[in-house]
Each structure stands twice: as C-alpha cells, then as structure tokens.
Amino acid sequence: MDFLTRLNKILNKVLTLTGGVFLIGMILLTCANIFIRQFYIPIRGTFELMGYAGAVVTAFALGYTQFTNGHISVDILVNTYPAPVKRFVSLINHGVCSLFFFIAAWQVVKKAMILKAAGELSETLRIIYYPFTLAVAFGCFVLALAIFTDFLKVVFPQKASAK
Amino acid sequence: MSLTLIGIIGIVLLLAILFVFGIPVGFAMGLVGFIGFAHVISVDASFNMLATVTWDTFSKYGLTVIPLFIFMGQIAFYSGVNEKLYTAAFTWVGHIRGGIAMATVLACAAFAAICGSNAATAATMTTVALPQMTKYKYEPMLSTGAIACGSTLGVVIPPSVVLIIIGLSTEQSIAELFYGGLGAGILLASLLTLTVYVLCSIYPSWGPTGEKTSLKAKILSLAGAVEMLILFMVVMLGLYFGLFTPTEAGAVGSFFAVVIALAQKKLSWNDFYNSIFDTLKISCMVIVIITGAMIFGRFLAITRIPFDIADWVVTLPFSKVTIMGIIFMIYIIGGAVMDALALLLITIPIFFPVAMELGYDPIWFGVTITIVTTLGAVTPPVGATTYVVGGMAKDVPLEKVFKGVAYFLPAYIICILIMMLFPKVVLFLPGLLK
C-alpha cells in the first residue's frame, strides 16, 4: 500500500510536470505560428502538433487529478450515508472505475498497435503518431492505478491510517 | 426491448450511479455509455468505440483551447490581478452608498473577463473585499451575497470554459458565444449592481459610504489593472476581426498574461509552478467529462432518444415559451444539485435538438442556459460558490450568506426574462461577427 501510494505520487508529479512542459510548448508554438505567418508562411503541422501535445497535457494529468480529488462527483446523497454504507459504496465506486480505466488503457494500447502495424502517418507532417496514442493509454493506466490505490485504502483502512 | 426504452433506462441508470454511488460525472457517463453501446451493438464494437472516442477527444485540436484559456486565468489569479481590479473599482465607486459592494461586483465582472473560474474569483474576492466591507460596517448579508453572486459572472463573461464547451458540443462558433456571453454578462453585472443600489436605498445602514477620492487617485488606481483588461480586449478583438482562432486567442492570452505578470514582478517561480499544476488539473477534469459525454452521446445517438424527445416535445399542446420555461426549470433544479459543466454536458444532447426544433437561436440558447445553470452555483443544496464564501467568511454564518444570495436572485430572474423578451441583448454582438 505504502509502495503504491509513493509510486502514484512520484509518477503523477513527473507526468504532470511533463504535461506542463508540453503546455508551454503549445503556447510558444502557437504564438510563433501567428507571428511568423504575418510575414512568411505558417509553421507546417501546427494544427496536428497542437492536437498531439494537447493529448499529452490532459492524459498525463489524469492520475494527478484523481490523486488530488479533482474529478467532479455528486456527493449530496453519499454524504448522508452511515459509515458502513459509505464504505461499501466507495468500494463499488473505486472498484468499477478502476476496472473501467484498465479496460480503456488496454483498448487504447490496442488501437496504438493497430496504428503502428498499419504504418499510419499524420496528414501534414507525415510523422508516426502512435506514440501519442500510447501516451494517452499510459495516462489512463496511471488513472486506473490511482483509483485502484484508493480502492485498497478503503479495503485496508487501518493500514492506511496507521501509515 | 425498444431502443427508446433502452435509452431511457440508460439515462435513469446514469442518474442513479451519479447520485447513489457518487461516481465522478465523467466516469459515470463513460461507463453507462460503454455498457449501453455494448448492449445495443456488441461488446467488441463498444471496446472499439471506447478507444476511438478516448483518443479522438484527447487529441482534438478544438479542445486545446481549454488548457490555454484556463492557464491565462490561473496566471491572472496567481499574479493578484483581482486585488488591483478591486482597488480600482473601490477608488472609483467606493464613496457612494453601497459603493464597496458595487465595486466588488464590478471587480468580479472585470476579473471574469480574464479568468473563467467562479471558485477562484469567490476565494480572492472574499479575501480582498470582505475586510473592506467589514471595516465600513457593511451588512454581512449584503457583502457576502455580492461576492458570491458577483463571482458567478466568471462563467458568463468570456473567456468562459462553459461557453467553449457549449460551442464544441453543439458545433456553434465559440467567438459568437463569447460575444453573446459578453452582452448577457454586462446585463447581469448591471442588474447585480442595481440590486446593491436598491437594497442600500431601502436599508441605508446596510452599505455606508466610503471615503471620497481625488481624480488623480482614481486614475492612478488603474495602473496594474488596466494591462490585463487591455489583454482581454486584444483577445476579443483578435477573435472579432478573425485574426486568430479561439485556440490561438488562448495561446496569445496566456503568453501575454505571463509577460505582463513578469513585467509587474507579480509572478514568482512558485506561482508559475502552481498555475501549471492547477491548469492541468482543471483541464483534465473538464476533458474527462467531455470524453464521458462523448461516449454517452454515442450511446444516446444509437437509441435516437434525443431526436425522439425533440419530436415529442414539439407535439405537446404548449407554447414554445412554456416548453422553454420547463427546460429552464430543469436546468435550475439540476444546477442546484450538480456542477454546471457536468449538467450541461449531460443535458445538451437532449435539450439542444428540442430548442432547435422549437426555432430558438443556438447562440441565444447556449448563453441563456449558461446563466440559468450558474444560478445553481449560489443556491442550496450544492451552491459551491456560496460555500467558498461562507467557508472563508468565518464571522458570517452560512445561513446569512445564503440569505444574502437570496436578495440577488431577482436580478438573475429579471436577466433571464429580459433575454427571453429581447433576444437581441444576447444576439446583437454575435450578429456583428457575421
């Protein structure tokens, strides 16, 4: 449990920082494109690079957002439950969501492998883009891991609080 | 089992797991959409759809506008623009009765022009404006009500993430929605200011006058605040003249927000770091809800339920105004129990076709439901913005904050009525873009 929590913390910090670097890159690329096209031609492939970088920015923040309770939920009813019911509901909630995102990660990996096998290239720059698809899959996997850690914290509450 | 019935079961199941299990909104929509799609088509098709929608949504160019505008707002927030805007408004109108509460609403409106977050505006305005109003012995109901309601302008006045998402999910021009939101936001801000004036006319002790300031002090107070407002003008005019797309406007806004904050020496390394982390967290939350809504939307589309509802509603023996009134009531009730963004993403696929079938303008509908839903941010039981103000105003009981908010609710009702009677209030500025 302790190992998983630490792993989540480190992974999410590194990924969010990487996402931040991509965000700054997006701002600089767009501003450079607007500036350069005024007296020359637009930077080729800005449109698709922005899409790929945007994917990394949000996918790499998936785990961090879960880790910091950033996802919106409607807890108006859940807050009124007695503790044992709340714990049961939390188990179902985390169990189902973690399974769902493991499936999502696995399916996106499959999609990336299909793109790789087909030698799929981007429309303008003609570059391979399946690594970005894999990045989204990795983001989903880290989210699933963060939710699974929350699931374990509900299963072993004493161990979590003793720590 | 008919497809319509499956669609209805899907909607009921979604609401059940949202409320009973408290599953995050984006996850719940994705989950129900995934299961529903698998049930109607096949499990393999659903796996395929899940991967395709996830990748397509995360890598969609149109959605990159979201982190960019959020980053611009975060930079403005961390560099303390709120304080400057409040000081400027306070210097200009603080000397009239209820003037500090009016200054608070005006500062909220100005900050909304840079930042689209209700909670961020409410938190800083409580810190900055509440001590001033307490110092001048303002009635706590008036001061907290003005802050909570003024903060809701964040999602109406552009750039607003809510308007961006309405634009993307209904395939309407984001620039037109921004200009529609600007008209509606100015109207709402004026009505909130007028409410302060009326309240202070009825109860003069609620808003004593502040100190008078010289013209020189008034002009000097604009320094530091005016730069960010110029940035807002650059972004809006750039969109107006078609110099850049909304995504490019977000990037230009972010870039110059950082440059201005650095030039003013108001942005530390730590602030910059926090801006990045907050931006990624908020953007991710938004994109997850959009992805969930896309998956749920795919399921709804194969059941054809949005179109069936639209066809059914137009056959009802009610006038279109009555039907729109019912839709608004659903949004008010929904907004009171769940987040505005999530509510809009769940309901737009159902109500947007209805509004179009009834012959309403899509831009008008988008802007009006934004105002209707924002009411939920200040009304119980959820009322997130009111809780932020109540939580930070330690000496004011939460009931008093809610009571204070209640005094401002007629302003929202009047605003919605004006928008219904005179749609030009919303549509005039977008009309200039065409």
Q: Would you say residue A108 has pLDDT above 90?
A: yes
Of the ranges A123-127, A156-160, B362-366, which one carries the lowest mean pLDDT score? A156-160
Q: Residue B203: how many CB atoms within 10 A of its CB?
A: 14
Cβ distance B430 to B180 under 8 Å?
yes
> Which residues in chain A have Cβ-Cβ distances shorter than 8 Å to B253?
none
- Predicted confidence band of residue B16 (pLDDT cuts 50, 70, 90): confident
Of the ranges B191-200, B256-265, B329-338, which one carries the lowest mean pLDDT score? B329-338
Average pLDDT over residues B10-33: 89
Q: DSSP characters for B151-164?
A: HGGGGTSSS-HHHH
Cβ distance A111 to B52 under 8 Å?
yes
| Residues A93, B22: C-beta atoms closer than 8 Å | yes
> Which residues in chain B have Cβ-Cβ distances shorter than 8 Å to A89?
20-22
Mutation for B interface: A74, A89, A96, most B CBs within 10 A: A74
Average pLDDT over residues B133-153: 91
**B71-130 confidence digits (pLDDT tens):** 988 898 888 887 788 888 888 888 889 998 998 998 888 877 776 667 777 877 887 888
This prediction's pTM: 0.84
| Residues B284, A136: C-beta atoms closer than 8 Å | no
Could you tell me what percentage of chain B is helix, strand and coil, using 3-state DSSP and rounding each to the nearest 5? 80, 0, 20
> Which residues in chain B have Cβ-Cβ distances shorter than 8 Å to A104?
30, 50-51, 54
pLDDT at B118: 72
pLDDT at B365: 96
pLDDT at B382: 67
**A43-78 confidence digits (pLDDT tens):** 999 999 999 999 999 999 999 999 898 888 877 788
pLDDT at A123: 87
Q: Which of B61, B287, B339 sits opposite A72 (nearest CB)?
A: B339
pLDDT at A162: 44
Q: Would you say residue A158 has pLDDT above 70?
A: no
Residue of chain B minimizing CA distance to A106: B51
CA B245 to CA B258: how far, in whole Å?
20
Q: Is B432 exposed, middle or buried (0-12, 13-18, 19+ CB in 10 A)?
A: exposed
Q: Shortest CA distance to A69 belongs to which of B122, B281, B338?
A: B281
Q: Which of B21, B58, B71 sits opposite A58 (nearest CB)?
A: B58
pLDDT at B124: 74
Q: Which of B55, B67, B382 sits opposite A111 (nearest CB)?
A: B55
**A69-98 confidence digits (pLDDT tens):** 888 887 778 889 999 999 999 999 999 999
Average pLDDT over residues A8-29: 95
| Residues B64, A20: C-beta atoms closer than 8 Å | no
Q: What is the mean pLDDT of chain B?
A: 88
| Residues B59, A51: C-beta atoms closer than 8 Å | yes
pLDDT at B212: 84
pLDDT at B335: 77
Chain centroid to Cα B344, Å, comes to 11
Cβ distance B67 to A23 under 8 Å?
yes
pLDDT at A163: 41
- Prior bond to B208 cis, omega within 30? no
Listed in sequence order, the residues at least 6 apart from B328 whose beta carbon sits closer than 8 Å to its beta carbon are B368, B369, B372, B416
Instruction: Give me the helices (H) in B152-245, please.
Output: 161-170, 174-202, 215-221, 226-240
Whole-number Cα distances in Å, B70 to A64, A86, A148: 17, 34, 29
pLDDT at B244: 85
> Which residues in chain B have Cβ-Cβ distances shorter than 8 Å to A57?
64, 67, 280, 283
